[in-house]
Every structure is written in structure tokens, then in C-alpha cells.
Amino acid sequence: MNTFIIERWTQSGRLAVGAAALVLLVLALLPVLASGLVIDKLTTLFIYILVAVMWNLLAGYAGLVSVGQQAFFGVGGYLALRLVDAGMPPYLALVVGAAGAGLVAIPISTFALRLKGGEFAIAMWVIAEVLRIVVMFDPLVQGETGTSLLALNAFDPQMRRNLNYWLGLGALALMLGATFWLLRSRIGAAAQAIRDDEDAAASIGIDVMRIKQIIFVLAAFGCALAGTVWLASAITFLPRTNFGVQWTVFMLFMVLVGGLRTFEGPIIGAVIFFLLQEVFGNLGVWYLAGLGLVAVAFALYLPDGLWGFWRRRTGIDGLSSGVVLKAPTGS
């Protein structure tokens, strides 16, 4: 009988982690060298990568396809505004506001996760709209007019730009690390088992609701962090923008193009999306329609996305979220 060696780290995986650490170090030092425009653009890119990775965690690895993750993107920013209004320092409020959105996700999950498939997806969109309407009734937000995080104006513009950049980079590094660790843990393996066959997973003792809730709350917290970084960069809070369904369109596009159920795919998709937005973003509705058509084309004809296609053709796995079974040498 053949035996196999369980390999948790491939050579390409070790190289990828080393390269990622080096890139993170360079990015952390970049504000010293780069122009303000470059720093602003990279901050936006960090936000895109963060929401793409969170949607992939939820839909790709746990099978929870949501069209309402903008709910937490908006709630994170709103809670930060409320905390600043109560006297909390703005940058601390941004982090605490994101954590608060993660807490809000807990009671939402007890209802939403009882639904499956299309019911769950639609319910999340409805929840996002309800939260947007509730926030609009707050006098601080002033309805559709919105409000601004004026406390950030107390910071020197260059310092504020750099702090926003480091906040975005730190949030991205934290959530990428947490996601990678989670996917390689028992929780990640259980989530993927639930995605493949929920009834079978339950039959072998997996606590389906608990695993789903962990993934759901983590993804909500990550989206909320992205929302607070967006608020810090834009300063203005507009309910229709911060709770806009376009964020889900962006997430879906980035993940499908880069590669669903892969760790690297959403990052690649976010970079492509960022470049497309820089070139075609001023086309408005036609631009959004084009993104939708491209996403549908990838879903139909290249379901593994660009990274999945590359991995299948080359055999290079990069940052694997599981283990590799290898036959012993000479067997």
C-alpha cells in the first residue's frame, strides 16, 4: 500500500511568503519616497484588495454568496462618525468603528445564515438597504446630504495622507494574514467542507452554524475596515455611496477575474480592476455595465479566473490554503 507525505508548505509557498514580507516592508516605507498622488492611489488599491479578499473568503471558501457586504462597509464608516462625534480621537474611532461593525454582524448572522443560496444573497442586499435607510434617519448624517469627518482636518494634509495609507496597509496585512491562517486551520477546512456539501459536513460532526458565523463575522469586519479607510480618504460620508451596491459589483468582478477560491486571485483581480478604473472609470454607467459583462464572461468561460488558469497550466500553487499529498521519493 502506498503511503503519502503530508506537506503543508511547498517551495513556491515559502518563496511567496518571503516575497510578500519583502513587498510589505517596501510598501510600509513608500510614503518617505513616493509622491502624494501615488500614496492616494495605493490607499485606494488597498481598499479594493481588502474587499475582494473578504468576498472571496465568504463566497469562494464558505459558499456564502452575498450581494450585501456593502452593509458592513457603510456601517463601519457610520460608527466611526458616531464615535468621533462622541469625542473619540478620529483614527482610534476608525478602528473601533470597524470592530463595532463586526459586532453588528453577529446578530445579523443568526438570521441571515439560516437562509441558503439565492435567499441568503437577496436577504443580505435587503439588510444593506435597511441599514442605509436607518443611518439616513440619524440627524448627524443629514439624510442623502451626508456628512464629513471634519476632525481629520486637524491633521496636516501630508500627515493625514500617510496615516490613511498606513491604516489601509495595516488593515490589509492584518486581514490577509488572518484569512491565510484561518483557511489553513481546522475552521478553514470545515468551511470548505460545508461549501461542498453542508449536510455531509454536519453528518461528520462539523458545527455548521458556528463555522459559518466565524467566516461571516470576519468578512464583515474586513469590509468594515475597508469602509473606514475609505471614509478617512474621502472624509465625506454619503449613504448612497458608502452603502452602494456598486461595492458588491466591484467585489464580484475582482474575484471572478482574479480567481474564485484562490488566495492570490482576488489580489490580482483588484489590481486589474484598479487599472481599468483609472482608464475607463469616467464612463459612468457604461463602465459598470462593462464590468458586469466581463464578470459574466469569466464566470462562463474561465471560471477559475486568471490565477486559476495560470496555476492549472504551470502547476505553481503559490500560497496554498490547504495541504499537499506527495508520494515518497522512489515510490
Query: Which pTM value belongs to this model?
Result: 0.91
Q: Could you tell me which residue, 147 or 280, shows the higher pLDDT?
A: 147
Burial of 282 (0-12, 13-18, 19+ CB in 10 A): exposed
Under DSSP, the state recorded for 327 is P
**3-state secondary structure (DSSP) of residue 325:** strand
pLDDT over 50 (residue 6): no
Please tell me which residue, 320 or 35, carries the higher pLDDT value: 35
- Range of the structural domain that residue 101 is part of: 5-326
Residue bearing the bigger pLDDT, 229 or 323 = 229
Residue 331 lies in a domain: no
* Contact indicator for 28, 166 with CB cutoff of 8 Å: yes
Of 120, 114, 110, 111, the C-alpha closest to 69 is 120
Write out the E strands in 14-168: 147-148
Number of domains in the chain: 1
Higher pLDDT, 315 or 101: 101
Comparison of pLDDT for 331 and 156, the residue scoring more: 156
pLDDT band at 5 (very low <50, low <70, confident <90, very high): very low
| Cα angle value 67/167/92 (rounded, 5°) | 95
Q: What is the pLDDT of residue 2?
A: 47
Instruction: Give the integer Cα–Cα distance in Å for 204 and 194.
Output: 11
As a whole-number percent, the residues of the chain with pLDDT over 90 amount to 70
Residues 6+ apart with CB under 8 A from 123: 68, 111, 112, 115
Q: Could you report the per-residue pLDDT of 210-265, keeping only the tens digit for each? A: 999 999 999 999 999 999 999 999 999 999 999 999 899 899 999 999 999 899 99
Q: CB under 8 Å to 114, separation ≥6 — which residues?
A: none
> 313 falls in which pLDDT band (50, 70, 90)?
confident
80 close to 96: Cβ distance less than 8 angstroms: yes
Q: Is residue 17 part of a domain?
A: yes
Residue 135: per-residue pLDDT: 96
Nearest to 102 by CA among 257, 226, 217: 217
pLDDT at 214: 96
Q: How confident is the model at residue 50 (pLDDT cuts 50, 70, 90)?
A: very high
Over the range 204-240, which residues count as b (16 or more CB within 10 Å of their CB) and which as e?
eebebeebbbbbbbbbbbbbbbbbbbbbbbbeebbbe
The CATH number assigned to the domain holding 166 equals 1.10.3470
Q: What is the pLDDT of residues 64-96, one digit of tens each?
A: 999 999 999 999 999 999 999 999 999 999 999
First to last CA, the chain: 10
What percent of the chain has pLDDT above 70?
91
- Asked if the structure places residue 297 within a domain, the reply is yes
Q: What is the pLDDT of residue 178?
A: 95
Contacts of 102 (CB under 8 A, 6+ apart): 72, 217, 218, 220, 221, 224
- Which of 100-104, 266-270, 318-322, 326-330 is least confident? 326-330
13 confidence band (pLDDT: 50, 70, 90): low
